[in-house]
Amino acid sequence: MAHILHLDASPRGDRSVSRTLSKEFIANWKATHPSDTVTYRDLGHHPVPLIDEPWIAAAYSAPDQYTPEQAAAIRPSNELVDEFLAADRYVFSIPMYNFSIPANFKAYLDQIVRPGRTFSVDETGYKGLVHNKKMTIITARGGTYPEGTPTHAYDLQTPYLKLIFGFIGIVEIDFVHADGLAFGDDARDLAITNAQFALKTAVAQG
Ligand SMILES: Cc1cc2nc3c(=O)[nH]c(=O)nc-3n(C[C@H](O)[C@H](O)[C@H](O)COP(=O)(O)O)c2cc1C
C-alpha cells in the first residue's frame, strides 16, 4: 500500500489543464490501487508563506533554541516537510510560467528543502535525505520545447525541477508535458490526448 501526495500549483480552477490531468491521474490510480491513500495539497488556491528572517534563523538552529517568533515562522515548514516525507509517491501538476515554475511552487520548495530534514551538508558536501520515492510531474505549457530545437533552451522548468528534487534525493521522476496549448485547438486537443495516454501508461506501470 502506497501513500501519494497529490499537489496542484495552477491558480486556475476547471480551466486548468495541469489540474485536470492530475485529477484524472489520481482517479485512474485509485481505480487500479484502491487501497492506496492520497493527501491533496492545493497550492494554487492556498499558497504557502514566503520564508523570512525568523524562518532562516530557525532552519539553521536547534528547536530548543528557537525564539517564539522563530518557532511560529518554521511551523508551516515542519508541517509541509512532515507531509512530504509521509508520501511514497508524488503527483505534482505545475504550469510553466515565464519559462520556469510559478512563484507559489518556488515558495513551496523553499519551505520543504530544509537542512537536516530533506538534505544534509557537511565537509563532504551536500546529501539528499529523501530516498526510494517516485515522482510524476505533469506540466502544462503554452509553447513547445523539443530537444534539438532553439526553444529547448527556454525550458528552465524541467531541468530546475530535476535538479532540486535530485538535490534532496529524488531521482525517479517522470515528466508528462502537455505542450503547445497556445497553438490552436487542434494542437491543444492533441497535447491533452497525448498527456492522458502517457499518464494512463504511468498508472499501469505503477
Ligand atoms: C503568467 C503566465 C506565464 C506563462 N508563461 C509561459 C511560458 O513562459 N511558456 C509557456 O510555454 N507558457 C506560458 N504560459 C502558458 C501556461 O503555461 C499555460 O496557459 C498552461 O495551460 C497553464 O497551466 P494551467 O492550464 O494548468 O493553468 C504562461 C501563462 C501565464 C498565466
**Cβ of 142 less than 6 Å from ligand 1:** yes
Q: What is the dihedral of CA 81, 14, 18, 202, to 10 degrees?
A: 90
Q: Per-domain residue ranges for the chain?
A: 3-205
Is the Cβ atom of 17 under 6 angstroms away from ligand 1? Answer: yes
State if residue 97 touches ligand 1 by the CB under 6 angstroms criterion.
Answer: yes
**Separation of CA 33 and ligand 1 centre (Å):** 32
Q: Which three cell numbers stand for residue 130?
A: 529523501
Distance (Å) of CA 5 to CA 8, 33, 38, 45, 70: 10, 14, 6, 16, 27
- The pLDDT of residue 114: 98
Q: Is 195 in the pocket of ligand 1 (CB under 6 A)?
A: no
Regions of the chain where pLDDT drops below 70: none
Q: What is the pTM of this model?
A: 0.97
The ligand 1 atom nearest the CA atom of 98: 8
Residues 6+ away with beta carbon under 8 Å from 28: 199, 200, 203
**What local confidence, expressed as pLDDT, does residue 206 receive?**
83
Nearest CA to ligand 1 atom 19: 142
Q: Which fold has domain 3-205?
A: Rossmann fold (3.40.50)
CB 187 within 8 A of CB 180: yes
Q: How far, in Å, is the centroid of ligand 1 from the Cα of 172?
A: 25
